[in-house]
Structure 1
Amino acid sequence: MGSDQPVADVSDQELLRLLKQAASDLRVKAWIVGGYVRDVLLERPHPNPDVVVEDGDALALARRFAEVAGAPPPVTFERYGTAQVTLPGHLVEFVTARAESYAPDSRKPDVRPATLEEDLRRRDFTINTLLMDLEGGIHDRLGGRRDLEAGTLRTPADPMRTFADDPLRMLRGIRFAAELGFQLAPDLLPAMRAMKSRLSPPVISAERVADELRKMLESPRPKLALELLDGSELLGVILPEIEACKGVAQSGYHTHDVFGHTLLTVDATPPDLLLRVAALFHDAGKPATAKGDGTFMGHEEVGAGIAKAALERLRFSQKEIDVVVALVRLHLRPVFYKSEWTDGAVRRLARDAGPLLDRLMALARADIGASAYPEPEKLDELQARLDQVRSERPSRLAPLITGEEIMAIRGIGPGPEVGRIKRRLEELVLDGEVPPDEQAVKDYLATHPQL
Structure 2
Amino acid sequence: MDLVPDTSKFDPVVLELGMLFANAGFELSLVGGPVRDLFLGRVSPDLDFTTNATPDEILAVAKKWADSHWEMGRDFGTIGFRKRNSAKEMLLIEVTTYRAEAYDPDSRKPVVAFGTSLVDDLQRRDFSVNAMALRLPAMELVDPFGGAKDLAAGLLRTPGTAENSFSDDPLRMMRAARFASQLGFTLHPDVLAAMKDMAGRISIISAERVREELVKLICGAHPRAGIDILVETGLAELVLPEIPALKLETDEHHRHKDVYQHSLQVLEQAATLETGPEGPVPGPNFVLRFAALMHDVGKPKTRRFEPGGAVSFRHHDLAGAKLTAKRMKALRFDNDSIKAVSRLVELHMRFYGYGESGWSDSAVRRYVTDAGPLLEHLHRLTRSDVTTRNQRKADRLSFAYDDLEQRIAVLAQQEELDAIRPDLDGAAIMALLGIKPGRVVGRAYNFLMEQRMEHGPLGPDRAQDVLRDWWTEQPESQPEAPQAPQATA
Closer, same or farther: CA 330–252 of 1 in aligned 2, 3 Å: farther
State the TM-score, normalizing by the size of structure 1.
Answer: 0.90
User: How many residues are treated as equivalent by the alignment?
Assistant: 436
- Residue type of the partner of 1:356? L
2:247–2:260 CA contact under 8 A, matched in 1:
yes
Q: Tell me the distance in 2 between the aligned counterparts of 1:45 and 1:394.
A: 43
- RMSD over aligned CA atoms reads 2.5
SS in 1 for 2:112: strand
Deviates more, 1:369-378 or 1:130-139: 369-378
2:421–2:452 CA contact under 8 A, matched in 1:
no
2:80–2:93 CA contact under 8 A, matched in 1:
yes
Q: Tell me the distance in 2 between the aligned counterparts of 1:38 and 1:331.
A: 40
Q: Tell me the distance in 2 between the aligned counterparts of 1:363 and 1:380.
A: 14
Q: Tell me the distance in 2 between the aligned counterparts of 1:58 and 1:233.
A: 40
- Residue type of the partner of 1:234? L
**Could you report, residue by residue, the CA deviation over 1:304-327 in whole angstroms, capped at 9, with x for unpaired residues?**
111111111101101111111211
- Residue type of the partner of 2:128? T
Q: Tell me the distance in 2 between the aligned counterparts of 1:254 and 1:383.
A: 32
Closer, same or farther: CA 48–254 of 1 in aligned 2, 3 Å: farther
- Residue type of the partner of 2:139? G
SS in 2 for 1:376: helix
What does 1:292-311 correspond to in 2, within 5 Å?
292-293=305-306, 294-311=311-328
2:366–2:453 CA contact under 8 A, matched in 1:
yes
Deviates more, 1:133-142 or 1:322-331: 133-142
Closer, same or farther: CA 232–62 of 1 in aligned 2, 3 Å: farther
Q: Tell me the distance in 2 between the aligned counterparts of 1:319 and 1:280.
A: 18
Q: Tell me the distance in 1 between the aligned counterparts of 2:353 and 2:43.
A: 43
Tell me the CA shift for residue 235 of structure 1: 0.7
Residues 1:96 and 2:63 are matched in the alignment: no
SS in 2 for 1:319: helix
Residues 1:313 and 2:334 are matched in the alignment: no
Query: Counterpart in 1 of 2:291?
Result: 278
Deviates more, 1:101-110 or 1:208-217: 101-110
Which structure 1 segments of 5+ residues have no match?
Answer: 1-10
Q: Tell me the distance in 1 between the aligned counterparts of 2:369 and 2:251.
A: 31
SS in 2 for 1:24: helix
State the TM-score, normalizing by the size of structure 2.
Answer: 0.83
- Residue type of the partner of 2:140? G
1:323–1:356 CA contact under 8 A, matched in 2:
yes
Q: Flag the structure with larger Rg.
A: 2
Deviates more, 1:329-338 or 1:298-307: 329-338
Tell me the CA shift for residue 58 of structure 1: 4.5
What does 1:364-383 correspond to in 2, within 5 Å?
364-369=382-387, 372=390, 373-374=393-394, 375-377=396-398, 378-383=400-405
1:445 to 467, 474, 488: 467
Tell me the CA shift for residue 139 of structure 1: 2.7
Residues 1:138 and 2:156 are matched in the alignment: no
Q: Tell me the distance in 2 between the aligned counterparts of 1:415 and 1:250.
A: 56
Q: Tell me the distance in 1 between the aligned counterparts of 2:11 and 2:430.
A: 70
Q: Tell me the distance in 2 between the aligned counterparts of 1:47 and 1:447.
A: 63
SS in 1 for 2:75: coil
Residues 1:392 and 2:419 are matched in the alignment: no
1:58–1:82 CA contact under 8 A, matched in 2:
yes
Tell me the CA shift for residue 397 of structure 1: 2.4
Which structure 2 segments of 5+ residues have no match?
Answer: 1-8, 85-89, 272-283, 475-489
Tell me the CA shift for residue 103 of structure 1: 1.4
Tell me the CA shift for residue 205 of structure 1: 0.6
Query: Counterpart in 2 of 1:86?
Result: 82
Q: Tell me the distance in 1 between the aligned counterparts of 2:201 and 2:119.
A: 26
- Residue type of the partner of 2:21? A
Residues 1:327 and 2:327 are matched in the alignment: no
Query: Counterpart in 1 of 2:302?
Result: 289
Q: Tell me the distance in 2 between the aligned counterparts of 1:397 and 1:371.
A: 38
Query: Counterpart in 2 of 1:156?
Result: 159
1:31–1:51 CA contact under 8 A, matched in 2:
yes
Tell me the CA shift for residue 430 of structure 1: 2.3
2:348–2:378 CA contact under 8 A, matched in 1:
yes
Q: Tell me the distance in 2 between the aligned counterparts of 1:253 and 1:275.
A: 29
Tell me the CA shift for residue 436 of structure 1: 3.4
2:102–2:110 CA contact under 8 A, matched in 1:
yes
What does 1:247-266 correspond to in 2, within 5 Å?
247=248, 256-266=257-267
2:133–2:141 CA contact under 8 A, matched in 1:
yes
1:38 to 25, 36, 39: 36
**Could you report, residue by residue, the CA deviation over 1:410-451 in whole angstroms, capped at 9, with x for unpaired residues?**
45566655444433322222222x643233211221245348
Query: Counterpart in 1 of 2:129?
Result: 127
SS in 1 for 2:49: strand
- Residue type of the partner of 1:85? F
2:246–2:299 CA contact under 8 A, matched in 1:
yes
- Residue type of the partner of 2:223? P
What does 1:51-200 correspond to in 2, within 5 Å?
51-54=49-52, 56-68=53-65, 70-88=66-84, 89-114=90-115, 115-134=117-136, 135-200=138-203
Percent sequence identity over aligned pairs: 36
**Could you report, residue by residue, the CA deviation over 1:109-136 in whole angstroms, capped at 9, with x for unpaired residues?**
0111333222111111000111112133
Closer, same or farther: CA 73–431 of 1 in aligned 2, 3 Å: closer
Tell me the CA shift for residue 266 of structure 1: 1.1
Tell me the CA shift for residue 363 of structure 1: 0.6
**Could you report, residue by residue, the CA deviation over 1:209-253 in whole angstroms, capped at 9, with x for unpaired residues?**
000000011111111111111111111010012222212559999
1:81–1:95 CA contact under 8 A, matched in 2:
yes
Q: Tell me the distance in 2 between the aligned counterparts of 1:222 and 1:33.
A: 26
1:250–1:257 CA contact under 8 A, matched in 2:
no
SS in 2 for 1:94: strand
Q: Tell me the distance in 1 between the aligned counterparts of 2:78 and 2:302.
A: 51
Closer, same or farther: CA 336–102 of 1 in aligned 2, 3 Å: farther
Runs of 4+ that moved beyond 6 A: 250-255
SS in 1 for 2:64: helix
1:305–1:325 CA contact under 8 A, matched in 2:
yes
